[in-house]
Amino acid sequence: NGNRSRVVRLQQQLARAGYYRGPIDGIMGSRTRYALRAYQHDHGTASL
């Protein structure tokens, strides 16, 4: 579905940036949320 493909893209971007090391599975789980928060904290932004 659309949400899953958006999460896949997010996971891919976070992985390329060195923040996400989990499976690229399209699931907004705890690893993805943690990586997103870390990215946002380091870059002072609310979006990727």
pLDDT of residue 18: 98
- Phi and psi at residue 6, in whole multiples of 5°? -65, -40
In-domain check, residue 14: yes
pLDDT tens for 7-47 read 999 999 999 999 999 999 999 999 999 999 999 999 988 76
Q: Distances in Å between the alpha carbon of 46 and those of 3, 18, 23, 38?
A: 18, 18, 23, 11
What is the domain range of residue 29?
Answer: 2-43
Can you tell me the distance from the alpha carbon of 21 to that of 23, in angstroms, rounded to the nearest whole number? 7
In-domain check, residue 48: no
In-domain check, residue 22: yes
In-domain check, residue 15: yes
pLDDT of residue 47: 65
In-domain check, residue 11: yes
Please give the tally of structural domains in the chain.
1
Q: What does pTM read for this prediction?
A: 0.88
